[in-house]
Amino acid sequence: MAELRAASWPCHQRLERRINVGARFTDRSRYRVHLQKMWGFCTAFERALDPALVTTALRDYGDRRKVPALTRDLIELGCSPEEIALLPVCERLPACDDTAAALGCVYVFEGATLGGRSLLPLVASSMGFDALRGAAFLASYGENVTAMWREFGAAVENACTRTEERARAVSAAIETFECLGDWLCETAAH
């Protein structure tokens, strides 16, 4: 986990600068667009990822999927299920064809869960959303967020014991940050 954090930190910081939190999480229409884009990325990723690659190391991966919470939030923001089903999905995804790489990709989403906790008060104060209404994605795991992060970290440590596994996890995390940043911020390409 320390290697993942250190190696992907510059990508994480670059993504945070690119998404402009102040604009996306205080304006209802921008927030909706952000969630639609996150839905498009997470949907593509969750469809493409073979869950068996992750569940061998992280048994509760099914409970960690992001699309259900994003879908609830979009419905709360006025999207119909039919509109959601027609949202564009990302075509450029990170390669994750083994457990180490898959965990590297999932690291980005699990980290976003931690970051969501810091964005939740902003969304609550600016738009009145909470875990039950409009901000389920940001409030993922509720009070269990820290425990689930620790469980994820333990899974990564147990599954990525060899140098080459750690390198694949790091490479996949960096690629995930890059793909996600491009998808969220470069609308002309999508």
For the chain, which residues make up each domain, given as ranges?
2-184
The distance of Cα 49 from the centroid of its chain, to the nearest Å, equals 14
- Residue ranges of E strands in 10-151: none
d(CA 137, CA 117): 10
Residue with tokens 């409009």: 134
User: What pLDDT, on a 0 to 100 scale, did the predictor assign at position 187?
Assistant: 52
Dig out the tokens for 184 from the structure.
């969220």
Residue 99 has pLDDT above 60, yes or no: yes
User: What pLDDT, on a 0 to 100 scale, did the predictor assign at position 107?
Assistant: 97
Per-residue pLDDT band at 190 (split at 50, 70, 90): very low
Task: Provide the angle, in degrees to the nearest 10, between the axes of the packed helices 145-159 and 99-127.
Answer: 160
Domain 2-184 classified CATH 1.20.910.10? yes
Q: Is the overall model pTM greater than 0.95, yes or no?
A: no
Dig out the tokens for 42 from the structure.
């997470």
The mean per-residue pLDDT over the stretch 72-99 comes to: 95
User: What pLDDT, on a 0 to 100 scale, did the predictor assign at position 46?
Assistant: 95
